[in-house]
Structure 1
Amino acid sequence: MKLLGRNHIIISIITFAILFFMNYLGNEEADKLQRALMTASAGVIGLTIGLFILNKGKDDKNPPQNFD
Structure 2
Amino acid sequence: MKLLGKNHIIICVITFVILFLMNYLGNDQADKLERALMIAGAGVIGLSIGLVIMNKGKDDKTPPQNFD
TM-score by length of 2: 0.98
In 2, distance between residues paired with 1:51 and 1:23? 24
Stretches (4+) displaced over 2 A: none
Equivalent AA in structure 2 for residue 8 of structure 1: H
Instruction: Give the C-alpha shift of residue 46 in structure 1.
Output: 0.2
- 2:56 & 2:41 partners in 1: Cα distance? 22
Match of 1:28 in 2: 28
Unaligned runs of at least 5 residues, structure 1 = none
* Alpha-carbon distance in 1 for matches of 2:61, 2:67: 15
2:3 is paired with a residue whose SS is: coil
Aligned residues: 68
Match of 1:54 in 2: 54
Give the whole-Å Cα distance in 2 for the aligned partners of 1:60 and 1:16. 31
Separation of aligned partners in 2, 1:3 and 1:34: 27
Distance 1:67 1:39 in 2: 37
Gaps of 5+ in 2: none
